[in-house]
Chain A
Amino acid sequence: MEHAVAATPAWAVLAYLVAGVLFILSLRGLSSPESSQAGNRNGMIGMAVAVGTTLILHPTGLPLIIGAIAIGGGIGWVIAQRIQMTAMPELVAGFHSLVGMAAVLVGCAAYLNPAAFGIVDEAGAILAVSRVEMGLGVAIGAITFSGSIIAFLKLSGRMSGSPILLPGRHVLNLGVLAGILILTGVFAFDAAAAMGQGPLLWIILGLSFVIGVTLIIPIGGADMPVVISMLNSYSGWAAAAMGFTLQNTAMIITGALVGSSGAILSYIMCRAMNRSFISVIAGGFGAEADAGGPKAAGPAKSYKAGSADDAAFIMQNAESVIIVPGYGMAVSQAQHALREMGDLLKKEGVSVKYAIHPVAGRMPGHMNVLLAEANVPYDEVFELEDINSEFGQCDVAFVIGANDVTNPLAKTDKTSPIYGMPILDVEKAKTVLFVKRSMGGVGYAGVDNPVFYADNTMMLLADAKKMVENIVKGLNGGGH
């Protein structure tokens, strides 16, 4: 570029590249728990390199900037130390919103003070290509921000997790989305916008905030793993768009990494529910549950209920137990009691394993983190494909706070909303112990689970944590 206001020196370009490579290595480290901590360190070093390089290139206003880093860093540090592991989904959603807002702020600052970013021509007009990047970056950032706020409110229970369906929402959303794209095009060719004037960017910004809300409110609680992964992806694309504006390789590489990471996680989550991405985004899943009332009003089916002592007795005399945790375990914080139960069983010579469905919980990997928190060794925890064939030979399947992911109707009933979803074959175990708060609720999909009424199933109706604690008492009392 002839106009070399902010031509970056070669050493700095290389430093940003190094930061980008370190970020790649930080994700690479997560391929196994052993290398993961080193990976995280690489990420921190990469960030330090990127920030340090920028501060050396732009050494003005340092006291204010360092103050800002100290304030933000302090807040972030305290949150990270205090947050409960069960609250991880809302924390991640909240953090996504901050990335989105930061992208919006950077975009606006670049629009108002373009010379500082070296994106103006000789006449002082903002380059057209920069305006496209700016418009898209601000739009994606704003959608990430308001969408993540809604996801945060839903996940933390401050807002109902059930879908909110606006009339004509598909037309509305598509219309607004088209509007944003058209306005971004106009923004690129508008002469006033080139001089940093006119309302176009602010209209794009406003519309994007609105569509972030209307996109997420119709999506129900059970689909949150997809939503949170999708917003993760958006926050990456927002960073990448800003990287284009600033011609910064660290930002572009990172944005591309995070963007594809979130997209892959969304895909994995959708596949684990046998639903298309479009159908999840369109929302409304779980809303039909209430409409399907008549089915539930039929003659009450009989089931076998058991006590904690029964469960303790059965598991003590089993050779192998597979534990299937779900969101209910997270809600009642039963993971520590559960690990204690597992330890006692192992002492009795029972083989104990954990089976995790990809969409158990509210975000990808949610159950794994909770079990790790409770000191369950990660080599006792298995993914669906690795353990599903073992249910046939196992004595007891202990289901705690999971429902839809164990529902065999997904294999047989073509009319069921969860048809085709890969499930954990708990019904093949000799005995199924099903911990559930009451017989009333039927999971998020609103589908009854035939496993409840099977001959080899014993329902343990109570709060998950209390039930497990009582089982632990039973194991301690009756064992020796």
Chain B
Amino acid sequence: MDFLSILSIFVLAVFVGYYVVWSVTPALHTPLMAVTNAISSVIIVGALIAAAEGAKAVSESGGISLWLGLLGVVLASINIFGGFAVTRRMLAMYKKKDKKPAASK
């Protein structure tokens, strides 16, 4: 892909983001931050490539790329699992009036 096609995708995605995010209800702004956090960890793709390609040629320039990549994979994984799990936990708490929490006392 050439630079201009990528730029086009980027600009269009900014606009999609603009409209999608304005439609998020303010009550869910904290889960929004948690889930955007999780999905921005798609940067793990870069870390995976660095690690995998580094593992191919450990002797040359690959060695350091391998370790940088692996560290990146660890950090991004913390974020992915942590971000999605904590979002799920939060969203599960939002309940409507009907169901009475009769469990306690």
Contact = CB atoms under 8 A, between A and B. Distances in A.
A252 B45 contact: no
A101 B66 contact: no
Contact of A365 (B26, B45, B81, B84): B26
A119 to B, nearest CB: 11
Nearest to B50: A109
B51 A102 contact: no
Interface string A46-69: 110011001100111110110011
Contact of A65 (B48, B80, B92, B96): B48
Contact of B26 (A60, A113, A358): A358
B35 A30 contact: yes
B26 to A, nearest CB: 5
A255 B38 CA distance: 11
B101 A375 contact: yes
A44 interface: yes
A14 interface: no
B59 interface: no
A105 B13 contact: no
A68 B21 contact: no
Contact of B43 (A69, A106, A247, A356): A106
Nearest to B98: A377
B36 A257 contact: yes
Interface of B is mostly: helix
Given A40-B91, A365-B29, A264 B18 contact: yes
B55 to A, nearest CB: 3
Size class of the A contact interface (CB-based, 8 Å): 35 or more
Given A61-B66, A257-B16, A378-B27, A72 B73 contact: yes
A64 B48 CA distance: 10
Contacts of B69: 105-106, 109
B24 A27 contact: yes
A242 interface: yes
Interface in B26-56: 26-56
Given A31-B25, A72-B73, A252 B84 contact: no
A61 B54 contact: yes
Contacts of B18: 260, 264
Given A1-B2, A113-B62, A79 B82 contact: yes
A244 B53 CA distance: 19
Contacts of A366: 30
Contact of A92 (B33, B77, B96): B33
Interface of A is mostly: helix
A396 B43 CA distance: 50
A188 to B, nearest CB: 13
A252 B9 contact: yes
Residue from A1, A358, A369 with most neighbouring chain B CB atoms (10 Å): A369
Contacts of A257: 13, 16-17, 20-21, 36, 39
B33 A232 contact: yes
Contacts, number: 393
Contacts of A83: 86
Contacts of A283: none
A113 B31 contact: no
A162 interface: no
Contacts of A214: none
B85 A80 contact: yes
B74 A68 contact: yes
A468 interface: no
A37 B79 contact: no
A379 to B, nearest CB: 5
A146 interface: no
Contact of A72 (B2, B56, B76, B84): B76
A259 B56 contact: no
A72 B74 contact: yes
Contacts of B46: 102-103, 106, 109-110, 117, 242, 245-246, 248, 251
Contact of B90 (A61, A236, A372): A372
A246 B74 contact: no
Given A31-B23, A58-B49, A372-B93, 14 more contacts: A26-B35, A30-B24, A46-B42, A47-B41, A60-B52, A60-B53, A65-B70, A102-B44, A105-B47, A106-B69, A109-B65, A109-B69, A116-B53, A378-B27
Interface of A: 1, 13, 16, 19-20, 23-24, 26-28, 30-33, 36-37, 39-40, 43-44, 46-47, 50-51, 54-55, 58-62, 64-65, 68-77, 79-81, 83, 85, 88, 91-92, 95-96, 98-99, 101-103, 105-106, 108-110, 112-113, 116-117, 129, 196, 228-229, 232, 235-236, 238-240, 242-262, 264-265, 268, 356, 358, 363-366, 368-369, 372-373, 375, 377-381, 383
18 contacts: A19-B42, A27-B36, A30-B24, A33-B27, A33-B28, A54-B45, A58-B48, A61-B66, A72-B80, A98-B41, A106-B72, A112-B65, A251-B42, A255-B13, A261-B33, A265-B29, A364-B33, A365-B26
